[in-house]
Amino acid sequence: MSNRLERRKNASILRAGLNSAKYRCLACEKANLNRNKEHFWPRWLIRFAEATKEPVSWLGKDLPAEAVQIPLCADCNSAFGHDLEGPMSELLPRISVGQSVTDPECELLVRWLWKFEGLAWNAFNFHRSEARYSSKFSLRERVIGKDSIQGIRGSLVVAMALAHRNDPGLHDWSLGMDSGLGTHDAIFASGVFRNVAMMVSFADFARLIPPMFSTYQLAGERQVSGALVLKPEFVFPLVSDAEIVTARGSGRLKVEHERFGERQNTNSALVTNRPRLEIPHPALRTMGS
């Protein structure tokens, strides 16, 4: 009964947030703009994960993945497609077969995961007038802005691991985020997409990333040499193994990122309505407990 009540409560909160998005875009936060309906899971990703048979939970209902939509202004919808989804639709299939990636491609993975986390956070919180995605950027500025990652780039770690095959008897491969929504943290994000498990973490907590993941700490400045810096390995027998390990590892990582974000916000002289961890303060960097 408690699980049912919790699902109903979450669905009610999400509906309130999406109703508020009728007046403000979930991505740029501007009001009175023409709206499009953006697929939360892009169509190319649904096709890639073959996620067409099993429903997902949305607004208290079980719906096909393609039916899960959120309102964005036309400009943000187009920008996300051009800057994130287009490149990712070419990159993720290469990763899924074990191909290595470059430093700029790791940055793309970071921004792509942040997009999902940010859209979900805004959808759940837009009904609160004081809520802001972060103290520095709108979601759009954060995930596609050229300057939004400067100063923190060299403190980010990307981690990936691959599953050999889907579970017997299942048609759909994995499609979902595992990192949950935080109050103070806007750094950590994780998920499994088809057979690719991935995470983005603050470097101080990289020791908590499950050891079977291959990791790469981004360079302080974007590298243009084209050098391959991270090769994902096939380490999980089945997709369900990737999901279990990613979910379990994400729990501890999210807790540590939340603690760090809370400490930073408590000690910050900058007072904001809804602070979330953006640029780590050097004095507050810690390995956690």
Strands (E), 173-242: 174-177, 189-194, 196-202, 214-217, 228-230, 234-238
262/265 Cα distance (integer angstroms): 5
Give pLDDT tens digits for 115-152: 999 988 888 876 566 666 777 888 999 999 988 898 89
pTM for the whole thing?
A: 0.84
**pLDDT per residue over 223-249, tens digit each?**
989 999 999 999 999 999 999 999 999
pLDDT of residue 67: 86
**61-63 vs 69-73, strand pairing mode:** unpaired
Which is nearest to 137 in space by CA: 281, 28, 222? 28
Identify the residue with better confidence: 8 or 37.
37
Q: Which residue has the higher pLDDT, 199 or 53?
A: 199
Residue 65 has pLDDT above 60, yes or no: yes
Give domain limits for the chain: 75-284
Strand partners, 193: 175, 196
Give the whole-angstrom CA distance, residue 167 versus residue 170: 6
- What are the pLDDT digits (tens) for 195-207? 999 999 999 999 9
Which residues does 139 contact at the CB level (< 8 Å), separation at least 6? 26, 27, 28, 29, 115, 118, 119, 122, 133
pLDDT value of position 19 = 53
Q: Report d(CA 273, CA 131) in Å as an integer.
A: 7
